[in-house]
A and B are shown apart, each in its own frame.
Chain A
Amino acid sequence: MTSFEEPAITRQGVDEAILSCEGLTKAFGGVNAVNGATFDVPRGKITALIGPNGAGKTTVVNILSGAMKSDSGSMRLGSTDITNWERYKIARLGLMRTFQLSRELSGLTVLENLLAAPKVQAGESLFNIFFRPRLLKREERQNIERATEILRTYGLYDLRDNRARELSGGQKKLLEISRGVMASPSLFLLDEPMAGVNPALIERIGGYILDMKAQGVTVLMIEHNLNIVEKICDNVIVLAEGRTLATGRLSDLRNNPEVVQAYLGEVINAGTGH
C-alpha cells in the first residue's frame, strides 16, 4: 500500500491522455446508443463516466475494450490506434475492464480466477508444458505469490479455494476487481463497481481504486453515486444520449446548465432549458 496523496487538481489540456476517442457511434437497430462520444482520459488519474441510465456508458466501455465494434469513430490507447482491434489484443496492451453485472469464472476457484488473469503466460504454451517444466513452476509460483497478496488485500484470502460461483454478490464484485488488478492494467475500466453493494464495501472499493491510482493505474469508472465521484475522481465525463455533454471537475459541472438538465436535473428537476 502506498502513502496518502491528495488527488491532484486536473489541469485540463495539459494532462497527457492515456486514452482518447473521437466520434464513437454505435446503433442497435434504431437506437443510437452511442452517438459521437468524444473524450480523453488523462493518464494516472481517476476519471468518472457519468450520465443517466441508457446514456450509453456501458456501450462506450464495450467499444473501448473491443467487446463491440463501433459503427464509426476512432480510439487511441497511448500512441496506438486501437480502432476495430480485437478485444484480447486491446487487453494485452494493458486495458482491463469489469462488467456491470459481475462475471466470475464460475467453475474456477477464487485463486484460479486470479491466476488466469496474467495476460500472457509461458504455461499456456504446449511446448513449454512438456519441455520447460522448471520455467512453468517458477512462473506459477510467482503468480501464486502475487495473487495471494492481492487476495489478502481484497479480503478474499480465506475464500481462495472456493469456486467463484459460491461467492456472494459483493464478493464477486471484489473478485472481479482484484482479477483485473492481477492483470497489471495500465488503464482499468470499471463499470459501476459500487452498484448494489453495502455502504461499508463501497468505502473499501473506493479505497482500492485510490490505491490503484497511487500505483500508477489510470482508472475510468462508471459511477452514479456523486458523493463517491466527488471524493475519489479527479475528472468527470458526462455522457447523455450517447454524446459527450461535458468534461471537467464535478464542482464545475454542477454549474453547467446543460449537465444539470441532462443528468443532475433528473433528480432535482432543476433545468434551465436549451
Chain B
Amino acid sequence: MSAFWYYVFTLVFFLFDYFILAMGLNIQYGETGILNFAYIAFVALGAYVTGAVSMPNSVGTGQQYIFGWGIPFPFNLIMGGVAAMVLAFVVALITLRRLRTDYLAMVLISLSLVFYDIVNNYVRLFNGADGLYNVPEPMSGVFHLTLNAFVPFFALVTGAVALILWGVMSRITRSPLGRTFRAIRDDPDVAAALGKGVFRYQLTSMLIGSFYAGVGGGLLIQFGGSFNPTAWLPGETFVVFAVIIVGGVGNNVGLLMGALLVETLLIHLPAFLPNIPGHPGLIEYIDTMVVGVVLMLMLWFRPQGVVPERLRRFPQPAGELANRDGHSVAPPEQSHYVAAITTDDSEPKDAQ
C-alpha cells in the first residue's frame, strides 16, 4: 500500500477517535455543563490501562507497569473505559458536590496536573516518562496484518466502535435523561427545584463521558502501540474543547464535523506537509496558533458551532391534528375567575 493511503487512513483513525473523545466531553460539558478541564487525564488513564492490561507480565520486558494480564482486544479497551469511569467517580465525589462551575474547572485543571506528575514520576505505575511501548497489536493472533495493512484495518475498527458509541449516545441525549442533563446545564437551581438530584445526574454524565474518554484513549494506544506523557500534555484537553466548540456543542453530527475540521485538518494534516525550507518544525507551531485563532473566531462569530444544537420538536398528540384549522393559535383559555378580578390602576399599596 502506498504511503498516501497510509496517511489517509491515519487521518481517518484520528477523525473517528476524536469523534469518540468529543462525544464524551460533549455529554459532560455540552449537555450537562460540567467544565471538565481534566478531560485528557481520563483519556490517558484509559490508554494506559488498555495497554497495561493487554501486555504480558512486566518482568523481563524492560518496562515497569502494573497489571500485565495479557487481556485481548476489545476487552482491554473496555477495561480502559471502566478505569476512566472509576477515576471519574472519585473525582466527582471530591469536586462535584461542593464546587461552583468556575471553581470546579480550576480544581479539575489542578487535578489533571497532579495526575500528570504522578504518572510521569511514579515509574512503577505506567513506566514513567518513557511510557508504555510494544503494546500488543490488537487481534494480531486473528489477522496477522503487516503494519501497512494494520493502519486501515484499525481505522475501520475505530470507525465501528465510534458508530456503536454514537448510537448509544444519541439514545441517551434524546431521552428524558438527556433533557434532564440539559436542564441542569441551563440552571442547576431550577433543576433541583424541579426535584432533580443534580449531583446524581452530574455524576452519571461524568461516568458516561469518562467511559468514552477511556475508550478513545485505549484506541490511541492500540493504534500507535505506545503511549507516554508527551501524548497527553494537560493542554490537550483544549484541543478536544476546540473540537466540540467548533463543531457545535450539544450536537453529535457537529462533533464529527469538529473532529474533521480541528483534529484532522488542522492538527494532523499539516504534519504531513513538507517542511518549510530552513524552518523545520515551524508548521507545527503555526498549527497550534491556527487552532487558537479558529477557536476565537468561532466563539466570536458563531458560538453555536458549525452544526448548532438541534431544536427538539415532538410529535403533537393526536387531538392536535383535529384542531389544525389554521389557527392553532389557541387564545389562552379563559379562566372562570378572570372576570372576577378587576384591575383598577389605583396605587397598589393603598390602605383604608
Task: Identify the A interface with B (CB < 8 A).
Answer: 1-4, 65-67, 86-89, 91-92, 96-97, 99, 103-109, 111-112, 115-117, 119-126, 129-130, 136, 139-141, 144-145, 148, 152-155, 157-158, 161, 163, 179, 183, 199, 202-204, 206-208, 210-211, 224-228, 231-232, 254, 260, 264, 266-268, 270
Contacts and interface: CB of A to CB of B under 8 A. Distances in A.
Contact of A116 (B175, B194, B197, B335): B194
B196 interface: yes
Interface stretch (B156-164, B176-184, B216-224): B176-184
Among A87, A122, A183, A204, chain B packs the most CB atoms within 10 A around the CB of A87
B324 interface: no
A204 B332 contact: yes
Given A107-B185, A207-B338, A148 B316 contact: yes
Contacts of B352: 254, 264, 268, 270
Given A148-B316, A207-B341, A224-B348, 18 more contacts: A88-B196, A105-B186, A109-B312, A116-B180, A116-B194, A122-B176, A136-B175, A141-B317, A179-B194, A183-B194, A203-B341, A203-B343, A204-B338, A225-B349, A227-B346, A260-B351, A266-B349, A270-B352
A233 B166 CA distance: 53
A231 to B, nearest CB: 5
B344 interface: yes
Given A105-B183, A124-B180, A157 B309 contact: no
Contacts of A204: 332, 335, 338
- Residue in A86, A124, A125, A199 with the greatest tally of chain B CB atoms within 10 Å: A124
20 contacts: A1-B336, A3-B336, A67-B193, A91-B192, A91-B193, A96-B193, A105-B183, A107-B182, A107-B186, A124-B176, A129-B172, A140-B176, A183-B195, A207-B335, A207-B337, A224-B348, A225-B348, A254-B351, A268-B351, A270-B351
A152 B330 contact: yes
A60 B238 CA distance: 43
Contacts of B333: 1, 152-153
Contacts of A211: 335-337
Contacts of A140: 176
Interface residues of B, number: 59
A115 B312 CA distance: 12
Of the candidates A99, A152, A232, the one having the most CB atoms from chain B within 10 angstroms of its own CB is: A152
A106 B187 contact: yes
Contact of A155 (B193, B316, B331, B340): B331
Nearest to B201: A124
A88 B193 CA distance: 6
Contacts of A264: 349, 351-352
A157 B171 CA distance: 27
A199 B338 CA distance: 12
Main secondary structure on A side of the interface with B: helix
Interface string B314-325: 111101100000
- Complex A-B, nearest 5 residue pairs according to Cβ-Cβ distance, in ascending order: A207-B335, A123-B176, A155-B332, A119-B195, A91-B195
Nearest to A6: B340
B343 A227 contact: yes
Contact of B351 (A67, A148, A226): A226
B204 A136 contact: no
B102 interface: no
Contacts of A207: 334-338, 341
B320 A210 contact: no
Contacts of A88: 192-198
B311 interface: yes
Interface in B56-75: none
A141 to B, nearest CB: 7
A210 to B, nearest CB: 4
A65 B311 contact: no
B311 A109 contact: yes
A197 to B, nearest CB: 11
A126 B337 contact: no
